[in-house]
Amino acid sequence: MSESRCMSNEVERLKEIAKKIRKHVLMMFMEAGSGHPGGSLSVVETLTTLYFHKMRHNPNDPEWSKRDRFVLSKGHAAPTLYATLAESGYFPVEELRSLRKLGSRLQGHPDMRRLPGIEISTGSLGLGFSVAVGMALAGKIDAEDYRVFALLGDGETQEGQIWEAAMAASHYRLDNITAILDRNGLQLDGPTERIMSIEPIAAKWLAFRWHVLETDGSEIGEIMKALNEADNIKGKPTIIIAHDVKGRGVPFMEWNADFHGKVPDKESLSKALQELG
Amino acid sequence: MRFKESRSTRDAYGEVLVELGKKNENIVVLDADTSSATRTKLFAEAFPERFFNVGIAEQNLIGIAAGLATCGKIPFASSFPVFVPGRCVDQIRNTVAYPRLNVKIVVTHSGLTFGVDGATHQSIEDIAIMRAIPNMMVVVPADAVEAKKAIRSIVEYKGPVYVRLCRQSTPIVYDEDYLYTLGKGITLTDGDDAAVIACGVMVAEALLAAEKLRAKGISVTVIDMHTVKPIDEDLIVKAARKTGAVVTAEDHNVIGGLGGAVSEILVENHPVPMRRVGVNDVFGESGETEELMVKYGLTADHIAEKVKDLIMRRG
């Protein structure tokens, strides 16, 4: 089979998984009645590609010391991480319905002490990325070859700590960390460029001496290629700026800042689920 | 009373880190450009591959320490308390305390006694802040001997710990061979008229106060409450029952620190008249340590005055 046929088969396989994950996410919001749908939907393709194609990990051994690590620095996208972990086999898919309910292992933001597969508790923006840098540093100390992936929000880069961590990753030459920036253009109060402009964002990361790649965040093939390219960059970390659509996959939520932290009514969600097929 | 010698708790910290680093290769040390001051520099020289100076970036300091902890390391993160926790309460709370990661936060240059750098550097609120964070142990050693024992103990303990040391040389209160247990206060002198519960640099002052008061026929129990959280409730209640009057002493605001912690226990279990010696909710200023202690009410004389005050009111 030709390489491009292999690639397109793989992309099709991942698209099917992404569709399942997107449906899980919508179902979870229907059950929970609260959460952050916009920024959860925009990262479905990225998480699918990471867990089902790129990362070395074992759902039956979440503590495996040689595993690749994933840090959801934009912790409010927890539902997508949960759905991805469930589909991977870290816990039963049925448990997804318990999102945000009292006593649930699926807390509103990821809790590493309750749920297997969560590398670090996140939720307060700007914090997870430094932790990812610490994990990558541990990898270098121990001469392990695991990789650390960190998913950041674009609004999140308004936090100064992100740049402290970026500076450190470059200073320590951490080529074993790959960051992905969910560039969906919106934050809670509106467009990032109106609230506190982060552009030129690619130039900023270049200035911090990172290798910078840009992709379409909805194109699995592009994400795959970018992740592979990052593996080959030595002596500096890589960031993939994934241009995304907040609320992707559900037309009435796309590009809509209202759905950063507000969940649509059950009827609209039900309709959206039907439309996904 | 003459104390045998004086040493700084931060020198003790620097030395004991090297001692522990030799025994345990999982210990890593981080600093935020205060390494020469906190003495983590000694560890840096001994084990350069396990030392990380992250520069003037305290939030990142804590995050990186947390990340190292998730990979089985025992990170010691050091700075001054105005900066840690001052700059990074969110990080300590959400990345270390909430997931209960094994990060040891050890700061030096605490309190008003920091001295000449002035108010912006004199942390008088850090015990209050750290005490109110769940899962966080808070330890304030009295002298260089106790500082080493405390640091050795917290390596064995699994969980987040905050240790508060100071800048200056302070009198050595302890012999090398006394028994130290985290969470268990130490009764240094026995007396019936009042109890003085102190931590950190104020323990030596409390002992001096006890000596002055003895000369006036007043006998005082002095307790070193090195672990402010979890605090030794039994010992506090026992002292209150025995003496009927309690004075606390700390190089910290009278609001929310050791004084606050002791009040909480007494009010619920055995309320007795109480006074707090500390900084009276004001910012400090530049000055020599000794002068500041006199001006802001942190000396043996101040402790003795409060004890006499309580006893007089008792009549």
> Quick one: which of A15, A18, A132 has its CA closest to A84?
A18
B171 near B141, Cβ under 8 Å? no
- Asked if A250 is an interface residue toward chain B (Cβ–Cβ < 8 A), one would say no
Average pLDDT over residues A26-32: 95
pTM of the entire predicted model: 0.97
- Confidence (pLDDT) at A215: 96
- Asked if A167 is an interface residue toward chain B (Cβ–Cβ < 8 A), one would say yes
Nearest CA in chain A to B54: A168
| Residue B129: pLDDT over 80 | yes
Whether the domain at B6-171 and the domain at B186-314 fall into the same CATH topology: yes
- Confidence (pLDDT) at B315: 62
Residue in B5, B25, B49, B58 annotated catalytic: B58
Task: Please classify residue A79 by burial: count the beta carbons closer than 10 Å to its beta carbon, then call 0-12 exposed, 13-18 middle and 19+ buried.
Answer: buried
Strand runs (DSSP E) across B9-86, as ranges? 27-31, 51-53, 74-79
From chain B residues 77-106, the ones with a CB under 8 A of any chain A CB are: 90-91, 94-95, 98-100
Amino acid identity of residue A45, one-letter, is E
Yes or no, beta carbons of A141 and B28 under 8 Å apart: yes
Q: Any idea where the domains of chain A sit in the sequence?
A: 3-276
From chain A residues 47-76, the ones with a CB under 8 A of any chain B CB are: 65
Fold of B6-171: Rossmann fold (3.40.50)
Residues of B in contact with A141 (CB under 8 A): 28, 49-50, 73
Report the mean per-residue pLDDT for chain B. Answer: 97
Average pLDDT over residues B131-145: 98
Yes or no, beta carbons of A141 and B90 under 8 Å apart: no
- Confidence (pLDDT) at A2: 81
- Asked if A139 is an interface residue toward chain B (Cβ–Cβ < 8 A), one would say yes
Average pLDDT over residues B44-70: 98
For residue range A155-199, what is the model confidence (pLDDT) as tens digits?
A: 999 999 999 999 999 999 999 999 999 999 999 999 999 999 999
- Asked if A199 is an interface residue toward chain B (Cβ–Cβ < 8 A), one would say no
- Confidence (pLDDT) at A4: 85
- Confidence (pLDDT) at B2: 77
| Residue A1: pLDDT over 80 | no
**What is the number of other CB atoms lying within 10 angstroms of the CB of residue B255?**
15
- Confidence (pLDDT) at A194: 97
Nearest CA in chain A to B98: A121
Fold of B186-314: Rossmann fold (3.40.50)
Tokens of A177: 């960390």
- CB-CB: which of B49, B90, B98 is closest to A141? B49
- Asked if A162 is an interface residue toward chain B (Cβ–Cβ < 8 A), one would say no
A186 near A260, Cβ under 8 Å? yes
For residue range A228-264, what is the model confidence (pLDDT) as tens digits?
A: 999 999 999 999 999 988 888 999 899 888 899 999 9
For residue range B68-97, what is the model confidence (pLDDT) as tens digits?
A: 999 999 999 999 999 999 999 999 999 999
Residues of A in contact with B73 (CB under 8 A): 138, 141
Residues of B in contact with A126 (CB under 8 A): 59
For residue range B16-33, what is the model confidence (pLDDT) as tens digits?
A: 999 999 999 999 999 999
Complex confidence, ipTM = 0.96
Contacts A–B by Cβ distance under 8 A: 102
What percentage of residues in chain A have a pLDDT greater than 70?
Answer: 100
Question: What CA–CA distance (Å, rounded) separates A80 from A40?
Answer: 6
Amino acid identity of residue A224, one-letter, is M
- Asked if B3 is an interface residue toward chain A (Cβ–Cβ < 8 A), one would say no
Q: Any idea where the domains of chain B sit in the sequence?
A: 6-171, 186-314
Residues of B in contact with A160 (CB under 8 A): 59
For residue range A35-63, what is the model confidence (pLDDT) as tens digits?
A: 999 999 999 999 999 999 999 999 999 99
A70 near A110, Cβ under 8 Å? no
| Residue A277: pLDDT over 90 | no
Domain A3-276 has CATH 3.40.190.10: no
| Residue B213: pLDDT over 90 | yes
| Residue B1: pLDDT over 80 | no
Which of the residues A118, A141, A159, A163 would you substitute to probe the B interface, choosing the one with the greatest number of B C-beta atoms within 10 Å? A141
| Residue B190: pLDDT over 70 | yes
Instruction: Please state the length of chain A.
Output: 277
Query: Is B58 among the residues known to form the active site?
Result: yes
Question: What CA–CA distance (Å, rounded) separates B61 from B267?
Answer: 38
